[in-house]
Chains A and B, each alone.
Chain A
Amino acid sequence: MAKPQLKRVSEYRWLIEPFGRMRVPGVIFADNILINDMDEKTLTQICNVAALPGIVKASFAMPDAHMGYGFPIGGVAAFDPENGGVISGGGVGFDIACGVRTFHTGLSEADIISVKEKLAESLFRDIPAGVGSTGNITLSTAQLDNMLAGGAAWAVEKGFGTKEDLDFIEEGGCTKGAVPAKVSAHAKKRQQEQMGTLGSGNHYLEVQKVVDIYDTQIAEGFGLKKGDCLVSVHCGSRGLGHQIGTDYLKQMASQAAQYGIDLPDRELASVPVNSPLGQDYLGAMRSGINCALANRQILTELVRRVFAKIFPKAQLTMLYDVSHNTAKMEEHKVDGKTKQLLIHRKGATRAFGPGSADLPPRYKAFGQPVLIGGTMGTASYILAGTGESEALAFSSACHGAGRCMSRTAATKKWQGSQIVRELAERRIIIKSRSMRGLAEEAPDAYKNVSAVVEATANAGLAKKVAKLLPMICVKG
């Protein structure tokens, strides 16, 4: 394939005109600096996605886009099932429905400061995290199937949290159309002891404080004010999602050719949405989404129990829960017509604007909360979906900082202990079992999250609402 040529169409939007096998253009949202950071491999991946059958409008990349496998991380693509549109296991990735959940604590920084170390210790002790960790819940096959069909609603039934929590999760905490029978026995076995675990890598649990409010009205609507302490959890569907990804990628790679899909990259393995395998994957992947929602629901309850011991009066209430590795059937307007499209968001967040039917009544006027995770040393942001985002990129926004340096390079450059020390000087407590894991996740191995958020806001994809800084970070 020839080298993709970028054309600037506005200050925050870039275009790659279709060439070669591309069916639609590539559209990248970024500022001058972020676009220069995107290497040729990332641009090629954007073009490869544009070559898939049934793609609608464009292959989009968010400002945090970087090289993934198959799809770029930060990639958004819509496919029309009525027009040969495909579903791609690689377009969702192995960590199905990895996402961020943020909840209020009702506490201020002043309330927490005197017991910060104790709180950090308790969270580190009681929230299972890291490689090989297991939760306290072991599920039988029948229980697992119920969990996969019920999502966070299942977890609430089992005593993890309250019904009110469900209003503040995408799709009410349960994705419809999950078919647990389409999830392999291997995938289920991998999950049996992993419910209520954080995982490893870039997953984390943070206690954060609100340091800036950009939109007072929306912040008030979301229940946020300066000085508030929040808790955010970043994790996904654990071993179950990883195994669903593995199982279906293999099948899609071997079946793609029979549907006449010539894959520009094997990792883009896809089949038509309306094929038997496409439907099987949808049923399995939706089960994976429910697993992630149930997992974050259980973790929420574990955090509540830790807080209850230290702050008996604290009420931990939901702000929102949003996933950033999904494929979802959504209604969107294309050339004036309403269509049901399958939207793949790989490392990108759904960002519905005000009035959307999926929003809880309390947020209807403000748009969907978009939760942007930073790194352990940098800010996280809360944004709100805009009306314009629908026309720009099927109501999607960035998902985080996005890496700019590989793990191998990060471990050569930094040591975990040095990072702990530097963050301690900034009064951020880090808890992790692995110093190498910390070095791999060094804040400077990521793009500047503030620049990513600025570009997202300036491009019109979402509105800035609040900035959060970490106080305590438990790394997976």
Chain B
Amino acid sequence: MWEHFSHQADIGIKASAGTLPEVFEQAAVALTAIVTEPGNVEQTESVQIECSAENNELLLVDWLNSIIYEMAVRKMLFSKFEVSIENLKLSAKIWGEKINQEKHLPAVEPKAVTYNQLSVKNENGKWTVQCVIDV
């Protein structure tokens, strides 16, 4: 489950799920939803992503920044994410397609993940994450 939340200048993303990899996957869907409707992005190409960080919060930032980078250099949008995380090392396969301005009507380009309102929490077995994306 994911949603966007209000930030005066930019866009906040929030996600929740039963496991850490799942909540990271949901956050990635929320990231794509800043640009376009994720359901409208086909899964024709895949990209492998690896990253690591000193804690879960910084890992979330690195994960989403890695996707922003792949979006920018490959000019792609992504809609399916398979994440595994072990000892603060993330490995993922992400699927999507080349951006098509007519089809995807992209609203705005994510520039970077900020550390503003950044959190990764596990409460009663439920993971929730949030951060603000600079657009």
Contact = CB atoms under 8 A, between A and B. Distances in A.
B1 interface: no
A131 interface: yes
Given A249-B115, A408-B11, A409-B6, A131 B35 contact: yes
A-side interface size class: 35 or more
Contacts of B101: 130-133, 433
Interface residues of B, number: 37
Nearest to B74: A132
A130 B6 contact: no
A192 B74 CA distance: 11
Interface string B75-101: 100000000000000000000000101
Given A132-B101, A246-B65, A440-B107, A407 B11 contact: yes
Given A242-B111, A246-B113, A434 B106 contact: yes
B73 A406 contact: no
Contacts of B49: none
Contact of B9 (A73, A190, A269): A73
A191 to B, nearest CB: 9
Contacts of B107: 131, 200, 434, 436-437, 440
B54 interface: yes
A70 B106 contact: no
B106 A242 contact: no
Interface string A81-106: 00000000010011100000000000
Nearest to B37: A436
Interface stretch (A61-69, A113-121, A219-227): A61-69
A406 B134 contact: no
Interface string A303-338: 000000000000000000000000000000000000
A126 to B, nearest CB: 15
26 contacts: A69-B115, A93-B134, A95-B134, A130-B101, A131-B109, A132-B99, A134-B75, A199-B109, A200-B107, A200-B108, A242-B112, A245-B112, A246-B65, A246-B112, A250-B58, A254-B54, A269-B115, A403-B8, A403-B9, A406-B6, A407-B10, A407-B108, A408-B6, A408-B12, A434-B105, A437-B108
Interface of A: 39, 41-42, 66-70, 73, 90, 93-95, 130-134, 186, 189-190, 192, 199-201, 239, 242-243, 245-246, 249-250, 253-254, 265-267, 269, 403-409, 433-437, 440
Interface of B: 4-12, 35, 54, 58, 61-62, 65, 68-69, 72-73, 75, 99, 101, 105-109, 111-116, 118, 132, 134-135
Given A90-B115, A131-B101, 19 more contacts: A42-B8, A67-B7, A67-B8, A70-B114, A130-B101, A132-B75, A192-B73, A200-B107, A201-B109, A242-B112, A249-B115, A250-B58, A267-B115, A403-B8, A405-B8, A406-B9, A406-B11, A407-B108, A440-B108
